[in-house]
Amino acid sequence: MNHEWSRQATGAVNIPELIGRQQVLEAVFRAIRDPSQTLHVLYLSGEGGLGKTRLLQHVLDTLRNEPEVVALETLLDLYHVELHTLEGFMKEVVRLLPEEVKSSFDEYEKAYRMLNQLRVHQEGKLTEQQNRVQQAFEKGMQALCGERRVVLMLDTVERAVYPAGEQGEPRLAVVIPWLKDCVGRWKNLTLIFAGRQRADAVWRLFREAYALPKEQAFHIGALSLQESREYLQALERHLRTLGEHFVADRLASLPEEVVERVCRLSEGRPILLSLLADYFSVAERGQLPPVLESAGQAERRDLEEQLVRRFMESGELGETITAIGRAPRGVDAPLLAKLLNIPENEARERLQKIKKFTFIKARVDETYFLHDEMYALVRRQVFDTPDDAVPASRAFAAIKDDVEKRLNRVRQQLDELFAPVLKATSETLKFTELAEAYSARRKWLGFKLFYFLHYDFERGLRHFFRFSQEALRARDVWMDLQLQAELWDFLSTYFSHADDKRLGGAFSKELFQTLLQIHELYHLSIAGENERLEALRQQLERVALEQGWQEHLPIALLALYTVLGDIYSGRGTLEDSAKAEEYFQKAFGVFPEEFQTGWSQGVDESAERLKERFTSVEVWYLKAYQARAMFARAYLMRMRGHLTESIPGYQKAIALLRQINLQVNLATAMNDLGYTQAAQGNWDTAYRLIQDAMNLHQELSAYASMCFDLNALSRAKIMEGYSLAEAIELATRALALSRALGFPRMVGMSCRNLAEAKRRSARSDLLTFSEKKELLRQARDHACEARDAFEEVGEKARLIEAWMEIGCATRDWVKLLVSRIHPDPADSVERLVAESRKAFERAIRLAQEEKLLHKELDSLVNLAWLEYYRLKENEIISEELKEAIQRVEKLIPKPETGEINPEIWVWAGKLYTLKGVVNFHVLKQLDRNRRKEFTAVQQDKEIQHLLEELGENFARGLEESSRYSQNSQGIRNAKQDIYDRLKILNAVELKVLCRKVKSIYPKESALEKFLREVMLWVE
């Protein structure tokens, strides 16, 4: 042992004996050894430093020799916030069970592995799987309790009791009411929990639930004077067993009057006995401080100061204690090395040496903590002093650096694990390693949140919102609850006074508690608990009205309307979309327009007007909710087909999100806007936005979201039409990532993109017939896989698209075969026609069932084009084609019928273009000489009618399509179809056509503009 330490501080060591507490021990062991199947719940209460933990540890050590009882390896210490949640608690219980009984939890282990696999792709039915995990754990406990009595001992339970709400009732960590509900079913269980006064709320909950007698609650008081003497004697004996005879002799030689003062001033607290004993073990008789003669308030503070200073001035020991005190979430060797700027080996040695002291708690993972009472002493005597500002700042910098480096290592590990898949060289992932990496990331995000709250409270509140948005984006309610537990634990420790109206002067306590209640709406929505969601919605709206949130809590009102709009917009039905629009308009009306000046320009001109009412972090939250409302409404408009109108909303949201650096929402908004810009034909803007979104998602380790980004980029390339090879490469990467993640929805989207990209690639004149045919075969296969994937996940809108893509691939295959001069007898056109018709009819039926008119029209128009493509050049128009066109015409709504999805006009445009193509087909079949003789003088009414109808249909085709977008692929394809046909007409024919177009559109129409550009317009 290092001599410096042994001579300075070896008095404060853990003794193996338990002094006193016999009455409590007898009651505890009676409850444990009860042969009946009765549930026993015991509560040990008392102030810090009185030995509650030591008593529980003694019970646990005794139970190791009693095989008929199942006890965990260690106590369940609720000081550690991860145990406040169901996930953390269940995981820790199973980890600490004896190996011979863990088989009862095989189903739980399997379900938990599947949960972590689902978390890797951050999508899917997480809530359902979390329910399976919970049910499997409860089943395992039920089975185990049926075999033997199980003992669960919870320590520091007061940490699971959070600040009181508006009604004065304390909030409890979610694990507490869940445990209360479960133990009654498990029955053959002894639950013992210990804590300070705040834990009384937990005892009341259990006592009322199970009519527990008050005799099962024990107050752990101070040791008597005699017990205090026995403690000092036991300490002396233990020191001798450790070979510390020098210190033991010093302790044994203390004069009787000093021993009496030690026992009296310790107030019967074992931890103070140990610390005071250590003090006297090195002090000379003549050096006794005067404060030991009095136990008054001021003198007591002086005594605490002297005790703490005793350790703080003990060289390396003092440095180590101070460093551990700086990091309440625990210190390991790497962090201690950073805090003290020493080599990691030296840090590891220091932690090993300090492990023996009473005020030190060590976990099996070699993480070290101070005893609660020691944290309090060090905080009062060192950290709360004015001179501590600079050391605290240095410590925070070291902790931030440590956490960031750990997060970076996790990020690098994830990058390495995903690299082969992102390059499409593999479609498999190491899920065990990935699950561990993501678990580590969640852990370090929790640490980062805590330390920012601890050292930089305002930034901590911002981080809470950021990390919470990540959890909600992944639909991971348990992760979000863990973040809330970190927050509530911090607030209950540092802002627990009822008269504290503002949290650290930075945030209204009432506002923050209200925001967390509003936040629960997201949890209920994710869980699909719509009845509870509606009840909470009604309650919150009623309270908002009664309490006047518009004036009193406007940020809460903005948050409420934003969250409700966001939830309803994600449901997809027309009724819910209308509700969403109503809530978004209410959200935008909370703050007058003048408050929003400058937000969309990326400057903060509104700050002067806002800072009079709100703090800077409250304004940050205001902007976060405002931005969320903006881009969620923009998404709603885009999904309703209003692409042009949605763009300003996205742009304003992105400007705000850049201001407040809310990256997870920024990435989502940029992806959405990029896709919208692509549909509008703004390719360069689209690519930049989507690529930036993908880079942000990779920084956030949101690889599942990169599936969306890769597919969005692929879709943009497809819509552009000039980079189909890149579209195929991007979709191939997306497919590899989606398959590796086991992400069926994204597999479907990737295959759908591959199908369309390859189908369109088959139109290239540079390819041979065989190459085109092979691409179309692959396109059909991809579309079939997309269909299977969307059937699996039950996504009807995407399933319709997959059926349409099957129809389009086989339709284009029909076109290829019909156009061949010498067809191969092995190619069955009619078989492909039948397959294409079947696919389109299936898509039409599904669209009708889902009341998706624009997709029904899409399918019908494509079916009509199939009937056209199967015609040979010299064949007359078939009845099937005429019927298909009539089916579309009957469905297209009149403009005056009210609000119509603008995407419908795309299909109206395609129909008119097809009708023009059909007109041209008929025109070409007329006798060539007859067409040559057609002049302004020598009129032919049939030819004139065909030309006028041809011009009208082509003109209406471009006009209708332009309602949706000015530069979409559909418009470009239509223009190509028009150009290929009209360039064959002579000047007289063109003049008749153009005259008709001008009569319909006196102002320059889209067709006139196009024909002028290609020199085909004839006045």
- For 246-384, CATH number? 1.10.10.10
Closest CA to 738 of 684, 695, 688, 792: 792
Angstrom CA distances, 540 to 173, 515, 556, 625, stand at: 22, 11, 10, 17
Angle of helix 796-819 versus helix 853-869 axis, rounded to 10: 10
CATH 3.30.310 fits 21-219, yes or no: no
Q: Write out the E strands in 556-715.
A: none
Would you state the pLDDT for residue 466?
94
Matching residue, tokens 């599947």: 114
Report the SS3 class of residue 548. Answer: coil
Q: By the 8 A CB rule, do 630 and 653 touch?
A: yes
How far, in Å, CA of 421 to CA of 736, rounded? Answer: 6
Write the CB contacts of 152 (distance below 8 Å, at least 6 apart in sequence).
72, 76, 93, 189, 190, 191, 192
Residue 278's pLDDT is what?
62
**Interatomic CA distance for residues 768 and 923, integer angstroms:** 30
Element (H, E) at 45: strand 40-45
User: Could you tell me if 569 and 576 are in contact, meaning their C-beta atoms sit under 8 angstroms apart?
Assistant: yes
Nearest Cα to Cα of residue 812 among 856, 754, 862: 862
pLDDT tens digits along 557-607: 999 999 999 999 887 677 888 899 999 999 999 987 655 554 544 445 555
CATH number of 743-891: 1.25.40
Say which amino acid occupies 27. A
For residue 681, what pLDDT is reported?
80
- The pLDDT of residue 10 is 44
The one-letter amino acid code at 224 reads: S
How high is the pLDDT of residue 301? 61
Tokens of 229: 């003497």
The tokens for 825 are 């007898």
C-beta atoms surrounding 597 within 10 Å: 14
User: Rounded to an integer, what distance in angstroms lies between the CA atom of residue 563 and that of residue 421?
Assistant: 35
Listed as ranges, residues in the chain with pLDDT below 50 are 1-11, 285-286, 295-298, 497-499, 598, 600-603
- Residue 1013's pLDDT is what? 92
Give tens-digit pLDDT for 704-724.
889 999 999 999 999 888 889
User: What is the structure's pLDDT at 204?
Assistant: 92
Q: Give residue-wise pLDDT tens across range 837-888.
A: 999 999 999 999 888 888 898 899 999 999 999 988 888 898 999 999 999 8
- What burial letters (b/e) apply to 388-427, b meaning 16+ CB within 10 Å? eeeeeeebbebbbebbeebbeebbebbeebbeebbebeee
What distance lies between CA 304 and its chain's CA centroid? 45
667, two tokens: 């990435």
Buried b (16+ CB within 10 A) or exposed e, 40-73: bbbbbbbebbbbbbbbbbbbbebbeeeeebbbbe
Give the pLDDT confidence score for residue 657 in this predicted structure.
94
pLDDT in the model for residue 696 = 93
> Is 877:871 a contact under the CB 8 Å cutoff?
yes
Q: Domain coordinates of the chain in residue numbers?
A: 21-219, 246-384, 386-495, 743-891, 898-1018
Identify the H or E element spanning 155.
strand 149-155
pLDDT value at residue 182: 93
Helices (H) and strands (E) in the chain, counts: 45, 12
Q: Say how far apart CA 160 and CA 199 lie, in whole Å.
A: 8
pLDDT value of position 540: 94
Q: What pLDDT score does 607 carry?
A: 57
**CA 920 centroid distance within chain:** 55
Looking at the DSSP bridge assignments, the partners of residue 162 are 171
